[in-house]
Amino acid sequence: MSSRTGHAAGTRDHVDPRKVDPRKEAPMELQPLLHDLLAATMAPTQAWSGPDGQVRACGAQGYYHGDVRVLSSAVVTVDGIEPETIAAGPAGPGAVEMLALLRRADGPGADPTLALRRLRTVAPGLVRERLELTCATAGPVTLLLEATFACDLADMDRVKMGQRPAPVPARGSGTPQADPAHADAASWAREDGTRVTLSGAGARVDLADPLAPRLSWRVTVTPGAPTVVGWEVAALVPGGVVGAPADPRPEWSTPAVTGDDRRLARLLERALEDLAGLRMSASFAPDDTFLAAGAPWFFTLFGRDSLWAARMLLPLGTDLAAGTLRVLAARQGTVVDDETAEQPGKILHEIRTKALDLGDGERVLPPVYYGTVDATPLWVCLLHDAWRWGLAADQVEALLPAMERALAWMTDYADSDGDGFLEYADTGGRGLANQGWKDSGDSVQWRDGSLAVGPIALCEVQGYAHEAALAGASLLEAFGRPGADTWRAWAAELAARFRATFWVEDELGPYPAIALDAAKRPVDTLTSNIGHLLGSGLLSPAEEAVVARRLGAPDMSSGYGLRTMSSTSGGYWPLRYHGGSVWAHDTAIAITGLARSGQTAEAARLVEGLLAAAEQLGYRLPELYSGAASAAAPTVVPYPAACRPQAWSAAAAVAVLTAALGLRPDVPGGVLRIEPPSPSPVGAVRVDGLRVAGAALLVQVDAQGAVVTAATGAAGVRIDARPAARAAGGPGR
């Protein structure tokens, strides 16, 4: 994601934002921390508050619509005192709930007898807050409940850079009042047509201070009779390139999961609720839905992220994959443009309403930016996988011309120096220095910690390209189009070149390097990138066994997932964005590859790590967290600037479920193979409500990985429940 480069530009090492740089005698601008904030999202709108539910004018807190902060403060008081929050958390899709005590207004005795329940719900363009007062006092209690607001209409990139724009004065609106300091509602506006309106039923709207408008209610709370007040903020930000989908219903099924490990069901439930709040459509393809990459900074279409999330969700249906494929195909590259990194056939990296300032004084990304080397082969892989899961033939066929252009890009443009590998370079000079999924400036390092010099050929991208070539060949052949043999031959040559070039060795044995540098030298750091090679067909079974052993070793497996970089590397640090942290989606990709290649013991170890982390994180897996060993810390250590919810992190729950069941679809071939690992990494599990070829699928396995039940209503699809691959007898063990 593009904002990751902000980490490379000096915002990665976070300190107390109250500290002052003595050289400037002004607050330092630091990227806001997110780890303890409450978030509610329903794209393209989101609300962020402190853990107590109050929205304060600091950091990333506020209500947002599109890329504009439409409210920067909302602080509640009762009789002039802030409530004491004792519990808070998610309350379903697009909602959070807080429970607070009002002890200053309480009755006598030690027990709290007056409470405030605050429910915040987010819908596209609208945030509502419901405040419910209840009491168990001896009699009625009369209170003054007030909420004070501020609005700065700040652009998202300014907030991310740590800037604190001044509040904008509010204006009154509604029925004329006898007192000019009061109105029916407060509103804010800016010249580009952005409009924000704050209203509260039954509230007195005080505009005596237009920078801090206030709603107030004089209420009497009676035992046994809740008193409810509230407000809503409606926002309009014109010209948005992405927005809410036309249909509010998710494109995927919601399966019922029961089994020995209850963590899996809870993780899936939380994940699907979070994903429902990330659904989006684009103005240029309004009928298609995709997943925004994540909140708060990535609330838009990202090629790589949206593709991976849709790919992981395929066992729940193909509609999301189809929408994602079509919306990205609608903006597939057609010309060569160094400023935008566009090339014919290339799939974009991200799209925004306007240019994005990365905050380092040098890099500004254009509104439509193509600086990614991996989205194009991943697009082909998703099309193939969706076809295998049962995407209708006419929908697949309609996308084949885009697929042929994507395949051609791999040879015509991605291999800029003709060495047979896909590489990247920022030819425009103002884009991303690194253009794989690890796109921070220091993500490609030598083992001693020094940075590699580009153009860079990443190892996992060669795996994606190999898989895309074989996938494309299968589709071309199935639909009677030419070129299948050519792409199979190209894939075989790529595998041979990779085998001869990428492998390096340390004191523990061989492994693939993370990349080749500009001089075509293998960059020798051991990283999680090699996990993406598993199941791509690029490696032989013996090579996959070697990779599995390296991933499962203590320097890579933290106990809470897969580290992005080996702890033995010179650049390792557990809180380094791409140099030692754990990313849930990265771990899930490795789990999928390990399961596909029969390396079930290592897959089970990583599954347990993700579930252990999820349990400690409230079952909402963030963008990333610390790579500190589970035995060395009392709990998961957060990466304090990590975003959440994050589409591919949430989708990791489905990837884990798929790997545990061993699902191998081939709807065009008329078969669904079920090959669960043995023993099952999650114990006995029953999943009802998966989808294959548009029909329901039920799968149940026992603790040893034997299929107990498997049934589908998909016409023409036979279930082949094969003997499980045993952990003790997998290749290379």
DSSP string, 654-687: HHHHHHHHTEEEEGGGTEEEE--EES-TTSSEEE
Domain assignment present for residue 5? The answer is: no
pLDDT in tens, 438-489: 999 999 999 999 999 999 999 999 999 999 999 999 999 999 999 999 999 9
Nearest Cα residue to 729 out of 537, 592, 598? 598
Burial (CB < 10 A; 0-12, 13-18, 19+), residue 112, is middle
684 shares a domain with 637: no
Domain assignment present for residue 362? The answer is: yes
693 shares a domain with 657: no
CA quadruple 473, 475, 478, 481: dihedral, nearest 10: -70
pLDDT band at 375 (very low <50, low <70, confident <90, very high): very high
CATH classification at residue 110: 2.70.98.40
pLDDT over 70 (residue 279): yes
- Which has more confidence, 40 or 360? 40
pLDDT averaged over every residue in the chain: 93
Domain assignment present for residue 14? The answer is: no
Residue 47's pLDDT is 98
641 shares a domain with 606: yes
Domain assignment present for residue 95? The answer is: yes
Residue 67's pLDDT is 93
291 shares a domain with 181: no
Measured distance CA(661)–CA(148) in Å, rounded: 52
Tell how strand 73-78 and strand 171-173 pair up.
unpaired
pLDDT band at 28 (very low <50, low <70, confident <90, very high): low
Residue 179's pLDDT is 59
pLDDT in tens, 390-441: 999 999 999 999 999 999 999 999 999 999 999 999 988 889 999 999 999 9
Residue 264's pLDDT is 98
pTM attached to this predicted model: 0.93
Q: How confident is the model over 310-337, as a mean pLDDT?
A: 98
pLDDT in tens, 212-266: 999 999 999 999 999 999 999 999 999 999 999 999 999 999 999 999 999 999 9
685 shares a domain with 612: no
pLDDT band at 27 (very low <50, low <70, confident <90, very high): low
Long-range contacts for 482-491 (Cβ within 8 Å, ≥24 apart)?
A: 483/404, 483/407, 487/407, 490/411, 491/466, 491/537
**At which of 642, 661, 680 does a domain end?**
661
Q: How confident is the model over 495-504, as a mean pLDDT?
A: 98
228 shares a domain with 249: no
pLDDT over 60 (residue 100): yes
Query: What is the DSSP annotation of 144-187?
Result: EEEEEEE---EEHHHHHTT--PPPPPPEEESS--SSTTEESEEE
CATH classification at residue 560: 1.50.10.10
Residue 319 identity: D
pLDDT in tens, 596-607: 999 999 999 999
Domain assignment present for residue 623? The answer is: yes
460 shares a domain with 387: yes
pLDDT over 80 (residue 19): no
pLDDT over 60 (residue 714): yes
Domain assignment present for residue 35? The answer is: no
Q: How confident is the model over 55-82, as a mean pLDDT?
A: 97
pLDDT over 80 (residue 569): yes
**At which of 611, 642, 661 does a domain end?**
661
pLDDT band at 23 (very low <50, low <70, confident <90, very high): very low
375 shares a domain with 502: yes
Residue 181's pLDDT is 58
Measured distance CA(322)–CA(293) in Å, rounded: 17
Measured distance CA(2)–CA(334) in Å, rounded: 22
Q: How far is CA 200 from CA 169, 185, 186, 462, in A?
A: 18, 7, 10, 56
3 state DSSP class of 51: coil
Looking at the structure of the chain, the number of domains it has is 3
Burial state string for 607-626 with b = 16 or more CB within 10 A and e = fewer than 16: bbbbbbbbeebebbbbbbbb
Residue 645 identity: P
**At which of 624, 642, 661 does a domain end?**
661
Residue 730's pLDDT is 34
Residue 36 identity: D
Residue 733: give the domain boundaries.
Answer: 662-733
125 shares a domain with 115: yes
Residue 182's pLDDT is 67
Measured distance CA(56)–CA(458) in Å, rounded: 42
Percentage, residues of the chain above pLDDT 70: 93
Q: How confident is the model over 495-505, as a mean pLDDT?
A: 98
251 shares a domain with 210: no
Residue 723's pLDDT is 61
- Which has more confidence, 563 or 726? 563
pLDDT in tens, 663-699: 999 999 999 999 999 999 999 999 999 999 999 999 9
pLDDT over 80 (residue 551): yes
Residue 262 identity: R
pLDDT in tens, 290-301: 999 999 999 999
Q: Is the alpha carbon torsion for 371, 411, 446, 545 positive or negative? A: positive
221 shares a domain with 110: yes
List the structure tokens of 574.
């557990």
Measured distance CA(584)–CA(379) in Å, rounded: 21
Q: How confident is the model over 302-322, as a mean pLDDT?
A: 98
Domain assignment present for residue 58? The answer is: yes
648 shares a domain with 536: yes
Domain assignment present for residue 29? The answer is: no
Q: How confident is the model over 644-656, as a mean pLDDT?
A: 97
